[in-house]
């Protein structure tokens, strides 16, 4: 009897404790999950908060360092000595206006795009118009006027055949040529193409075939410059490709005047076009100065020039009002501005500047 009561009691206790155990077991996962969730929620915040705070600070520091570096470079640039060298920007160019009356000062003349200008009466030497005439600048292919004078002064046969060789290839500027290596033509034809079409290989070949070769030719060029009173002029080659070939507008008026005394220079430099046989084919060469084709102009001597250091250049002996004028236009920026400047000068003279031409009669060079 006692034993059965004991068993009953034990079974009762077991039955009473079973729901509590189940409830406790069910509660444990909930507690664990809640702890994990809280832990997971805390971890990202703990890790991300410093990063969010650090990024703006880092960016601000980086911006500050960049600003400081720029300011430092700007101060250093202002403090550094500036390099001074010849540049077209160093010579002021006023705005160019095409109205020959309103835009032109009757005393000072037209506004021109060329950096250095000189217009003189060849007969009297009177200066009609000038702008920076003393500037010593590269003259490019204007050089070929001196080349032609030295060739003609040398009194070599104009019918002698000269050959273009590899030595005549332009390795300085890499300019092209319509005269391939091996081309053979007379000295007269070489001279014509050098003056009219500004053929560099022709000018080079002329110098190489001079007595004593190229070095002797350059010496003769500088000797000739001294003989005609060119104090600002110096030559290092016969083509003008070398930017060390320099002169001033004042000197070039003298050089053009000297060149006008050579009949062949007058003829060849103003020929509009010419055909010559090259490598078995007839090729047409044109004058680099379009004004020689214009009926409005009477030109006695003409030569253009261009390399990057010189800008666009043009020198001419032109007849106006039956007077020989020498026009020198140097260092013009645009491709057509040297010709446009020449046109502006002519319009100015026709519009009232003509009284500045001396009335003394002038005989044409013969």
Active site residue 224: no
Q: What's the confidence (pLDDT) of residue 258?
A: 98
Q: Using alpha carbons only, give the angle 249, 251, 255 rounded to the nearest 5 degrees.
A: 110
Please identify which of the residues 131, 144, 254, 323 carries the catalytic annotation: 144
pLDDT band at 279 (very low <50, low <70, confident <90, very high): confident
Comparing C-alpha atoms, which of 129, 77, 95, 139 is closest to residue 313? Answer: 139
Q: How many CB atoms lie within 10 A of CB 85?
A: 6
pLDDT band at 350 (very low <50, low <70, confident <90, very high): confident
Q: Can you name the CATH fold of 95-356?
A: Beta-lactamase (3.40.710)
Residue from 111, 114, 141, 310 carrying the catalytic annotation: 141
| Rounded CA separation 5/10 (Å) | 9
**Closest to 145 in 3D by CA, of 254, 44, 55:** 254
pLDDT level of residue 108 (50, 70, 90 thresholds): low
Q: What is the pTM of this model?
A: 0.71
282 burial (CB, 10 Å; 0-12 / 13-18 / 19+) is exposed
Above 80 in pLDDT, residue 241? yes
248 contacts 232 by C-beta, under 8 angstroms: yes
| Euclidean distance between CA atoms 171 and 246, whole angstroms | 20
d(CA 136, CA 112): 18
Is 48 part of the annotated catalytic residue set?
Answer: no
Catalytic residue among 198, 205, 302, 310: 198
The radius of gyration computed from the CA coordinates of the chain, to the nearest angstrom, equals: 43
Q: What is the pLDDT of residues 305-346, one digit of tens each?
A: 999 999 999 999 999 988 999 999 999 988 889 999 999 999
Residue 144 is a catalytic residue: yes
Alpha helices in the chain (DSSP H): 2-79, 143-153, 187-196, 200-208, 213-227, 249-259, 263-269, 337-350
């Amino acid at each position: 009897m006692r034993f059965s009561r004991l068993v009953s009691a034990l079974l009762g206790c077991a039955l009473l404790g079973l729901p509590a155990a189940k409830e406790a077991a069910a509660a444990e996962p909930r507690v664990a999950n809640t702890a994990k969730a809280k832990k997971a929620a805390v971890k990202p915040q703990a890790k991300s908060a410093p990063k969010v705070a650090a990024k703006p600070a880092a960016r601000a520091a980086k911006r500050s360092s960049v600003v400081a570096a720029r300011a430092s470079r700007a101060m250093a640039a202002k403090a550094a000595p500036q390099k001074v060298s010849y540049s077209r920007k160093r010579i002021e160019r006023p705005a160019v206006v095409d109205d020959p009356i309103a835009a032109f000062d009757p005393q000072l003349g037209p506004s021109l795009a060329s950096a250095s200008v000189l217009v003189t009466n060849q007969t009297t030497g009177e200066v009609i118009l000038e702008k920076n005439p003393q500037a010593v600048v590269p003259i490019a292919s204007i050089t070929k006027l001196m080349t032609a004078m030295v060739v003609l002064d040398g009194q070599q046969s104009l019918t002698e055949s000269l050959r273009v060789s590899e030595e005549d290839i332009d390795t300085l500027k890499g300019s092209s040529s319509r005269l391939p290596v091996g081309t053979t033509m007379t000295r007269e034809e070489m001279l014509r193409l050098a003056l009219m079409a500004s053929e560099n290989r022709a000018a080079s070949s002329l110098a190489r075939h001079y007595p004593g070769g190229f070095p002797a030719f350059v010496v003769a060029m500088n000797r000739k410059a001294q003989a005609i009173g060119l104090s600002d002029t110096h030559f290092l080659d016969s083509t003008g490709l070398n930017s060390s070939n320099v002169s001033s507008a004042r000197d070039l008026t003298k050089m053009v005047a000297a060149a006008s005394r050579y009949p062949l220079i007058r003829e060849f430099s103003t020929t509009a076009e010419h055909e010559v046989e090259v490598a078995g084919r007839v090729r047409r060469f044109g004058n680099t100065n379009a004004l020689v084709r214009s009926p409005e102009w009477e030109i006695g001597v003409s030569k253009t020039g261009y390399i990057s250091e010189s800008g666009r250049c043009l020198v001419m002996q032109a007849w106006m009002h039956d007077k020989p004028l020498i026009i020198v236009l140097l260092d013009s920026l645009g491709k057509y501005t040297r010709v446009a400047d020449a046109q502006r000068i002519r319009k100015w003279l026709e519009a009232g500047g003509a009284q500045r031409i001396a009335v003394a009669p002038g005989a044409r060079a013969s």
